[in-house]
């Protein structure tokens, strides 16, 4: 695909929100060639952005929060659709999406027919289920969330899809869309239609109905729910780096238009986003831009995690609220671009080392901790939001010797659920998690 994009288009591939790859700027005279090349790798068939283009999240196969194997479900939906549904053009606006849990990474909430994973006991056996949501859609000016209609066993989900589509096809009025049909008929109509799908035959008659797609094992939720904090930290850094990249792009456009003020503003925005990205690893977040830049200077630039030359750029920002002329704006933009590149290199290093913090002059605190006396300490993280509470706990643990005990006060909810699991993932021992006056005390023994 990369070769094709380079030979026949603008050398770019774009990942779309509907999980497709788009090759933009294909030259018209290259259509025939590109089709032949796509055919060689079996990617030439129609179906993109049509009813057959079913999408989903990774589900329980790889996601720690996943309840059901949404990818397996989608494979089955595709097979059943090919086998049993007569597809026509008027059905291509129907979107079908699935997620392995209610979190909706598969965007089930905006699909005409959406499924999200769940679990429920049926005939006394814990069985994978899907909540069926109908009537969701995105129009030019608004998004309408689907209505939760019924919860059915996972193995009945393909039947629910076929039944709903056939009902629409047979009874729609004129050009009515699936969403409009759902609005007209109402939840009660579909609930009644899908009600027979709530049950399964006895396990002796149909044991495969009680296990998930792609599995041969009894369905269970035991492996579920490892902490997601480390992933949240990475996402947060990536979001901020992307923000800096956007600022760079917009800055270049402004410079082309010779708009000095806007170019300078985008350069400043790029520096702030880069700073905020790396400060996540220090457990810090700032609403105040100036405070953020000052902290970045003392914790990142002064520690030589990025080059010392950027201190001058931050000082310039302190002295000047806007770029005075085109030359200055161009310089700010190029310097902020270099800073972004260095921050990205730090991020990549952290990812490849699987380390959360970058150290200067060796792994100093680890050396200090090795062989040191076991200590005990406590930190109060009440009011500190996720994942900063995790980062602060991790940073504190890094300064302690193996076998030391750390007590951490955490808020109820996400913090008390996620931090203990993530700390356990990191190899430390969770001694206890006790509720105390509306919050939690987590006691950890450092590995
Ligand atoms: S929707 Fe749930 S299962 Fe799917 S990726 Fe998101 S968190 Fe994981």
221 in a structural domain = no
Answer yes or no: is the C-beta of 114 below 6 A from any ligand 1 atom.
Answer: no
Mutate to test the pocket of ligand 1, among 74, 102, 105 (most ligand atoms within 8 A of CB): 105
In a domain, 358, yes or no: no
Q: Tell me if 65 CB under 6 Å of ligand 1.
A: yes
Q: Which atom of ligand 1 is nearest to the CA of 59?
A: 3
Query: Both 121 and 263 in a single domain?
Result: no
d(CA 350, CA 302): 19
Is any atom of ligand 1 closer than 6 Å to the C-beta of 98?
Answer: no
If one counts the domains in the chain, the total is 4
104: in domain: yes
| Predicted pLDDT of residue 425 | 82
Q: How far apart are CA 29 and CA 229, in angstroms?
A: 49
Rounded CA-CA distance 3/153 in Å is: 44
For residue 312, what is the domain's CATH number?
1.20.120.330
The rounded Å distance from CA 66 to ligand 1 centre is 5
Q: What is the pLDDT of residues 358-374, one digit of tens each?
A: 554 444 444 444 456 77
Q: How far apart are CA 406 and CA 430, in angstroms?
A: 10
Q: Residue 62 C-alpha to ligand 1 middle, in angstroms?
A: 9
**429-436 and 439-445 as β-strands: parallel, antiparallel, unpaired?**
antiparallel
For ligand 1, the distance from its centroid to the CA atom of residue 73, given in whole angstroms, is 14
Q: How far apart are alpha carbons 224 and 226 in whole angstroms?
A: 6
Decide which of 182, 210, 238 is a domain's last residue: 210
Tell me, what's the pLDDT at 366? Answer: 45
95 and 156 share a domain?
A: yes
pLDDT of res. 362: 40
Torsion of CA 84, 50, 147, 57, to 10 degrees: 90
Query: For the domain that residue 435 is a member of, what is the CATH number?
Result: 3.30.110.40
Does residue 442 line the site of ligand 1, with CB under 6 A? no
Q: Are residues 69 and 178 in the same domain?
A: yes
To which H or E segment does residue 442 belong? strand 439-445
Q: Is residue 218 part of a domain?
A: no
The verdict on 73 and 170 lying in the same domain is yes
Q: Is residue 363 part of a domain?
A: no
Q: Which residues of the chain have pLDDT under 70?
A: 222-228, 353-372
Domain with residue 82: its CATH number is: 3.30.413.10
103 lines ligand 1 (CB under 6 A): yes
How far, in Å, CA of 265 to CA of 282, rounded?
26
CA 338 → CA 274, 310, 342, 347, distances in Å? 11, 9, 6, 14
CB of 58 sitting under 6 A from ligand 1? yes
Residue whose CA is at the smallest distance from ligand 1 atom 3: 66
Residue 282 resides in a domain: yes
Residue nearest to atom 2 of ligand 1 (CA): 101
Q: How far is the CA of 231 from the centre of ligand 1 (A)?
A: 13
Q: How far is the CA of 385 from the centre of ligand 1 (A)?
A: 21
243 and 348 share one domain: yes
Kindly state whether residues 346 and 250 are assigned to the same domain: yes
Q: Which residue has its alpha carbon closest to ligand 1 atom 6?
A: 105
Q: Which DSSP string do the residues of 345-368 spell out, in sequence order?
A: HHHHHHHHHT-SS--SSS-HHHHH
Same-domain pairing of 60 and 172 = yes
CB 225 near ligand 1, within 6 Å: no
Measured in Å, residue 126 CA sits from the centre of ligand 1 at 20
To the query of whether residue 386 is one of the catalytic residues in this protein, the response is: yes
Specify whether 166 is located in the same domain as 81: yes
Starting at the earlier edge strand, list the strands of the sheet with 113-122: 55-56, 96-99, 113-122, 125-134, 147-153
Which atom, in ligand 1's list, is nearest to the CA of 68? 3
Domain extent, residue 376, equals: 369-445
The last residue of one of the domains, among 353, 381, 403, is 353
Give the distance (Å) from ligand 1 centre to CA of residue 416.
20
The residue with tokens 């497709």 is 20
In a domain, 177, yes or no: yes
Question: Does residue 219 sit within a domain?
Answer: no
Atom of ligand 1 nearest to the CA of 63: 8
Same domain, 262 and 326: yes
Is any atom of ligand 1 closer than 6 Å to the C-beta of 64? no
Residues 347 and 252 in one domain: yes
Question: In a mutational test of the pocket of ligand 1, which residue from 106, 119, 129, 131 has the highest number of ligand atoms less than 8 Å from its CB?
Answer: 106
Kindly state if the Cβ of 59 falls inside 6 Å of ligand 1: yes
> Same structural domain for residues 93 and 203?
yes
Q: What is the pLDDT of residue 364?
A: 43
d(CA 299, CA 276): 12
Place of tokens 């509720």: 435
Q: Which of 205, 207, 336, 195 is nearest to 264 (CA)?
A: 336
Contacts made by residues 3-11, CB under 8 angstroms, sequence distance 24+: 4/34, 4/37, 4/38, 8/33, 8/34, 8/37, 9/34
pLDDT tens for each residue of 34-66: 999 999 999 988 888 899 999 999 999 888 778
Verify that 103 and 198 share a domain, yes or no.
Answer: yes
State which of 291, 325, 353 marks the end of a domain.
353
User: Residue 73: CB within 6 Å of ligand 1?
Assistant: no
């Amino acid at each position: 695909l990369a070769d094709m994009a380079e030979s026949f288009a603008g050398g770019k591939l774009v990942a779309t929100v509907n999980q497709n790859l788009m090759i933009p700027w294909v030259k018209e005279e290259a259509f025939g060639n590109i089709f032949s090349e796509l055919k060689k790798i079996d990617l030439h068939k129609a179906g993109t952005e049509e009813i057959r283009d079913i999408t989903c999240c990774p589900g329980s196969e790889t996601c720690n929060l996943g309840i059901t194997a949404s990818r397996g479900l989608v494979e089955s939906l595709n097979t059943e659709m090919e086998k049993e549904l007569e597809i026509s053009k008027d059905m291509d606006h129907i979107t079908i999406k699935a997620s392995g849990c209610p979190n909706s990474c598969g965007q089930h909430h905006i699909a005409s027919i959406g499924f999200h994973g769940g679990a429920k006991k049926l005939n006394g056996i814990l069985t994978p289920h899907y909540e069926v949501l109908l009537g969701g859609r995105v129009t030019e000016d608004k998004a309408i969330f689907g209505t939760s209609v019924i919860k059915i066993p996972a193995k009945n989900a393909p039947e629910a899809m076929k039944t709903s589509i056939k009902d629409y096809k047979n009874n729609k009025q004129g050009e009515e869309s699936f969403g409009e049909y759902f609005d007209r008929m109402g939840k009660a109509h579909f609930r009644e239609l899908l009600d027979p799908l709530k049950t399964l035959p006895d396990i002796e008659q149909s044991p495969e109905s009680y296990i998930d797609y792609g599995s041969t094992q009894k369905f269970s939720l035991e492996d579920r729910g490892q902490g997601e904090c480390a992933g949240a930290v990475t996402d947060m850094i990536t979001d901020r780096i992307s923000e800096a990249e956007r600022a760079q792009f917009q800055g270049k456009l402004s410079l082309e238009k010779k708009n000095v003020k806007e170019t300078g503003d985008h350069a400043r925005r790029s520096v702030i986003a880069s700073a905020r990205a790396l400060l996540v690893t220090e457990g810090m977040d700032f609403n105040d831009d100036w405070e953020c830049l000052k902290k970045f200077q003392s914790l990142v630039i002064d520690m030589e995690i990025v080059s010392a030359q950027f201190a001058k750029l931050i000082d310039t920002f302190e002295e000047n609220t806007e770029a005075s002329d085109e030359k200055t704006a161009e310089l700010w933009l190029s310097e902020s671009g270099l800073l972004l590149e260095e921050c990205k290199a730090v991020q990549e290093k952290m990812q490849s080392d699987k380390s959360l913090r970058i150290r200067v002059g060796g792994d100093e605190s680890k050396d200090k901790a090795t062989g040191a006396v076991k200590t005990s300490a406590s930190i109060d993280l009440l009011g500190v939001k996720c994942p900063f509470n995790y980062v602060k706990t991790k940073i504190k643990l890094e300064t302690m010797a193996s076998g030391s005990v750390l007590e951490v006060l955490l808020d109820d909810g996400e913090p008390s659920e996620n931090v203990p699991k993530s700390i356990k993932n990191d190899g430390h021992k969770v001694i206890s998690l006790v509720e105390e006056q509306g919050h939690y005390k987590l006691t950890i023994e450092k590995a």
